[in-house]
Structure 1
Amino acid sequence: MNASPHRVLLAAVLCAAACAGAPRARAAVPAPADTPYPGTLKLAVDASDVARRIFRVREEIPVQPGPLTLLYPQWIPGNHSPTGPLDKFAGLVVSADGKPLPWTRDPLDVYAFHVDVPQGVGTLAVEFQYLSPQDRSQGRVVMTPDMLNLQWNAVALYPAGHDARLITVAPSVTLPEGWQFGTALEVASRNGASTTFKPVPFATLIDSPMFAGRHFKRVDLDPGAQVPVHLDIVADAPEALAIKPDQLAIHRALVRQAYKLFGARHYDHYDFLLALSDNLSGIGLEHHRSSENGVGPGYFTDWAKSAPERDLLAHEYTHSWNGKFRRPADLATPNFNVPMQDSLLWVYEGQTQYWGYVLAARSGLWTAEQTRDALASVAATYADNRPGFDWRNVQDTTNDPIIAMRRPLPFRNYQMSEDYYSAGQLIWLAVDTELRELTRDKRSLDDFARAFFGVDDGVWTVKTYTFDDVVATLDALAPHDWAGFLRQRLDAHAPPLDGLARAGWKLVYTDKPSAMTQGYETERKVADFTYSLGIVVANKDGKLVDVRWDGPAFKAGVPSGATLVAVDGREYKAERLKDAITAAKTGQAPIELLIKSADSYRTVRVDYHDGLKYPHLERIPGAPDRLSAILAPRR
């Protein structure tokens, strides 16, 4: 029987599709070598389509004939995990001399794209789009009608086979008309809304993001300095940019206190990039000569309420020394597609968390009381809200950026997550107070900071370290079994709380929250009953965003993620639950909670009678007050 023309055409189409999808020999992805890439890449980003939140990218890549692999950055520094947003990458077209070239995605390494470069071709043109999230359900919002956050790792392909420090790139960006920007990159030229930057190594480009916006202010934080430091601010509205003189003085003090702590700087200039926004997603991400910081629009204009956010700049600034200049050896990879290892994040992030609190206090971003209240919250978390220590330890949580990649967890307090931050902070409080005790308060962690991070003033190439390097520096300050001291706290199935007592303070609970606790509740938009019923409730809809494993509510059968509908037969309100907990302290009846889980309603009875509990720190009578000495400004 003769086939119809339509059948023949359909068969040809199906054959072509099958042939295109047929397995082919996998090209190897070249490992990075210590050889410079010949020529300079040109990377042009059109970031002007803020209405549709699209970044349009064009690259010109010098090439030689033969197989070429282009990589999309996967392992993002500061994220400590393979979080390159490849799902937002679209529209890839590769061409040479105006003619398209076929490309093939690697079937195992989906961040790699293989291209065969024909003879006679010296430059490839590469075009694609980065389709940034339209709302937070799709990821972090980086573009709004009023501002944007350009992270170069999201808008660049680079050639495999070379160390990222040895690939030179000339970047440029086009912004909406009238917008201004902050970045650590240095301007080469401007043409209307387009700016071309001086060529830099690809590794430096990825480490040099941009904040840009309609409403922008640049503030000098170290007037007259040979090594300038600026605060580059974008905001949803111009009134949010208003900075009072005393607020400016505090941010300038942060720079001075960091210099007094470390005794050196490892940049030729530094830019705090600060977004004041309800629309752009928040962020705190470190870079060598800058940092990305996102807080609420009232950071300056509602200063009293912004306290919970005010350790952010101190934390990210510390990373210029700890994490960017001095970097764990297993995190110092030659390019952005070689897997990282996170074993020393308790130093990288844990000690930075410690210095973030300390520098916030020393600069005046926090008062001493606010710092103690913030530390009380940390201590309470590890004294009474980490049942996960039954099966995990701090060291094991350094794997969590790779395991969980900051996805929500049903029982975070039991599963644990990135506890190397705050548990690491407590470890370094223990080290600081141990140093002080061993040396009769003649040595402290300040001396470690200067000896470990304060070397090679003015140098900003990476200097790696290992566990043994940390131990050797501590041992030079005060001979001790520092390896055993650290490993005991990292590997134990118990929280590292001993430093607080050596600091002269203890954790207590009262029925009144501190101002910082109230601030944390406001910032997170929750009512926190962690240390009484063992639940945290979202203000908006009554959702139980956290239930403490084996806490009173958990034992009564309350599930995480359910909705709290009513308390003792009345509609749930935070104050109503507080009243019920208070009343139960002197009564015998359990607290009745009406819970909605999926489409089912049920009443659970929580037999709890110890009243409201909120963490505070209290002085230990007769003990040296080392905590106040730690938090005091350096003169």
Structure 2
Amino acid sequence: MKLRFVFAPISIFSAYVSAQDIPPARDTAFPGTMRLEVDARDTEQGIFRVQQSIPVSASGPMVLLFPEWLPGTHAARGQIEKVAGLIIKANGNSLEWRRDAQNVFAFHVDVPKGTRELDVRFQFLSATEPDQGRVVVSPEIINLQWHSVSLYPAGWFTRRIPIVASVTWPAGWKAATALRPASASGSTIQYQATDYETLVDSPVFAGKYSRTEQLGNNVTLSLFADEARYLAATQEQLAPHKKLVEQAIKLFGMVPFDHYDFLVGLTDQIGSIGLEHHRSSENVVNPEYFTDWASGPGRRNLLPHEFSHAWVGKYRRPAGQMVPDFRTPLVNDLLWAYEGQDQFWGYVLGARSGLFSKQETLDALASIAAAQDVRRARDWRDVEDTTRDPIISARRPKGWVSYQRSEDYYNEGLLIWLEIDATLRARTRGAKGMDDFAKAFFAGPNGKWDARGITFEEVASTLNGLSPFDWASLLKARLNGKAANAPLSGLTLGGYQLAYTNEPTPFFKDAEKRSGEVNLTYSLGMTVNKNGHLSTVLWDGPAFKAGLTTAAEIVAVNGKLFSEDALRNAVAQAEGGKDPIKLIVKIGKRVKEVAIEWAGGHRFPRLEKVGVGDGSLDKLLAPRD
């Protein structure tokens, strides 16, 4: 029997629509202005209700995009899974839409003749538990990110798409953003017209309890808290925040914004964040940031890091991140010059401003250097390859981070820039340093925030202009080499050496307190939380050689029920001994005995001064007049 196959033509909306049908972004003006209205009053269920009008200039196929590749995250982090209830109408009639078969962030519609605009409605179902993503709504604070509550038309550079946005907030709340209000009616604020790229780069913090402080030079500190008492910042505590602004402007020599807003949540009710924008930053710190100021530096390094990003990563950004829209993949090759350099300046400005003391900064650098130095992954994976990590793992937990590496372009990048500073100072007898690099590399007009791309060649040539040297080879060796140890020359040339003692620094203790873990990385090769669960196991360390993994939970230590003190005491008592540390551990439904061979006692990193007088590192950390 002969079979007959009849093939019917398939319309664009029947089953399959392709990313090939998505028009590429063009650098031409979008015909019209989008209008966006967001209802953010649902603080109990965290549901944002969105209504958006999108002008159209012609009938036929059209593609609407949800932002996918998000600046600052270095990956495709748009939360498309939280978009629900999507309805698209034209002239009051619902249109059929189809999600693209290859790019799930794209929606295809067929625009009827005579349509002047599309009416788009949907809900963004923000996370209500951390396992769903970052929580951005609590009964007291909202962190609204425009990329989660809007669509945009494919075919145009996002900076060429005009938009007017408004938000209805809970009654009595105040809001802060780099955008400026155009009008207000009741609890609804309409913001001044802008372009879609700038809108996405201008998130909002809003809350029931807030406080605003002016830090000078058109920089505002906007605070939002879980309770009013957490807003009790003293003038002595605000002073280093003002000095941060002053020192940053002295360092870079120009200002790449017309105004800047620190958006700061003093909260543990919404998820932690530190995210840079050109004229603002999103910062979540512990609620007691001000009220428990004396207990340690805590997260006081966050604001220097994010503020530096206005210059490093926003004004000057890798050429591969100069993209036309949020569909185009970001190229992360130069993240060591973006995040690594910014990590460097964050700690420098933290020290110069007084948000971190000099000793706290030295202790932080010791912890960073030690953590990088024990990464056995450096045997097979170079630093530059870690610039792919935001895409590869998206900060998901890793079982063997010391053998996998993570986003090491941050902290190993810091060490590389520290070496560059020390090398410049040594070669020029102290006449040049990274301050001179900053003024040359970031030179530009004040008050403008047009981004400029950077290349490896420009970094090397700028350094060469300060001191003739084969900087390209040095950078390539540090970025692409497989050295057994971390690049610590910046410390040794700077007058310090990494050492280990049996007493932790105050910074190390504070970090343990904030993490809720016992950090035995440099002795037993593991970290353990307060319940005895292993958080990390150092590759080839004593715990690793004993067969432990992060699936293990310690039940007993040397015959005693687990406690933090019992574990710490066992390590201390093992110094110079011959007997192993004996653990009983639970792994799933099994219980077994484990013997860890270790006789070295406690080992904690710190920096020790080498030589007399101020070295180049001391001079680097000193505030500028």
- Same fold? TM cut 0.5: yes
Deviations 1:369-427 (A, max 9, x none): 100000000111122x2011011011110110110011111111110010000000000
- 2:580: which partner in 1? 590
- 1:5: which partner in 2? none
Q: Distance in 2 between matches of 1:178 and 1:156?
A: 25
Deviations 1:10-57 (A, max 9, x none): xxxxxxxx9999634536111111111100000111000111110000
- 2:98: which partner in 1? 104
TM (normalized to structure 1)? 0.95
Deviations 1:455-513 (A, max 9, x none): 22222101111111111111111111010011110011122211110000001111111
Correspondences of 1:558-569 after superposition (within 5 Å)? 558-569=548-559
Number of aligned positions between the proteins: 612
* Aligned 8 A contact 1:299 1:306 in 2: no
Q: Give the CA deviation at 1:595.
A: 1.2
Q: Distance in 2 between matches of 1:561 and 1:481?
A: 47
Q: Does 1:343 align with 2:333?
A: yes
- 2:42: which partner in 1? 49
Q: Distance in 1 between matches of 2:186 and 2:97?
A: 35
Q: Does 1:182 align with 2:176?
A: yes
Q: Which amino acid aligns with 1:245?
A: Q
Q: Does 1:80 align with 2:80?
A: no
Correspondences of 1:333-412 after superposition (within 5 Å)? 333-383=323-373, 385-412=374-401
* Partner-residue secondary structure (3-state), 1:414: helix
Correspondences of 1:26-45 after superposition (within 5 Å)? 26=18, 28-45=21-38
- 1:298: which partner in 2? 288
Q: Does 1:533 align with 2:524?
A: yes
Q: Give the CA deviation at 1:454.
A: 3.2
| Counterpart pick for 1:426 among 415, 440, 443 | 415
* Partner-residue secondary structure (3-state), 2:142: strand
Q: Distance in 1 between matches of 2:206 and 2:437?
A: 37
Q: Distance in 1 between matches of 2:408 and 2:16?
A: 44
Q: Distance in 2 between matches of 1:19 and 1:110?
A: 19
Q: Which amino acid aligns with 1:260?
A: K
- 2:566: which partner in 1? 576
Q: Give the CA deviation at 1:585.
A: 1.0
* Aligned 8 A contact 1:298 1:306 in 2: no
| Counterpart pick for 2:513 among 511, 515, 522 | 522
Deviations 1:571-616 (A, max 9, x none): 1111111111111113211000111111111111011000001111
- 2:54: which partner in 1? 61
Q: Distance in 1 between matches of 2:111 and 2:240?
A: 56
Deviations 1:106-150 (A, max 9, x none): 011000000000000101100001000011111100000000000
- Classify 1:25/1:553 alpha carbon distance in 2 versus 1 (closer, same or farther; 3 Å): closer
Q: Does 1:196 align with 2:186?
A: no
Q: Distance in 2 between matches of 1:320 and 1:21?
A: 43
| Counterpart pick for 2:127 among 130, 133, 156 | 133
- Classify 1:207/1:20 alpha carbon distance in 2 versus 1 (closer, same or farther; 3 Å): closer
Deviations 1:151-175 (A, max 9, x none): 0011110000100100011010010
Q: Distance in 2 between matches of 1:346 and 1:496?
A: 14
Q: Distance in 1 between matches of 2:46 and 2:303?
A: 27
Q: Give the CA deviation at 1:624.
A: 5.6
* Aligned 8 A contact 1:382 1:497 in 2: no
Structure 1: stretches of 5+ with no match in the other structure: 1-17
* Aligned 8 A contact 2:17 2:101 in 1: no
Q: Give the CA deviation at 1:620.
A: 1.1
- 1:13: which partner in 2? none
- 1:326: which partner in 2? 316
* Partner-residue secondary structure (3-state), 2:327: coil
Deviations 1:497-536 (A, max 9, x none): 1111000000111111111101111111111000000010
* Partner-residue secondary structure (3-state), 1:611: coil
* Aligned 8 A contact 1:546 1:561 in 2: no
TM (normalized to structure 2)? 0.96
Deviations 1:239-282 (A, max 9, x none): 00011111111110000000110010010100000000011111
- 2:4: which partner in 1? none
State the identity as a percent: 47
Q: Distance in 2 between matches of 1:478 and 1:582?
A: 49
Structure 2: stretches of 5+ with no match in the other structure: 1-9
* Partner-residue secondary structure (3-state), 2:41: strand
Q: Distance in 2 between matches of 1:154 and 1:477?
A: 44
Q: Distance in 1 between matches of 2:16 and 2:235?
A: 66
Q: Which amino acid aligns with 2:481?
A: A
- Classify 1:553/1:371 alpha carbon distance in 2 versus 1 (closer, same or farther; 3 Å): same
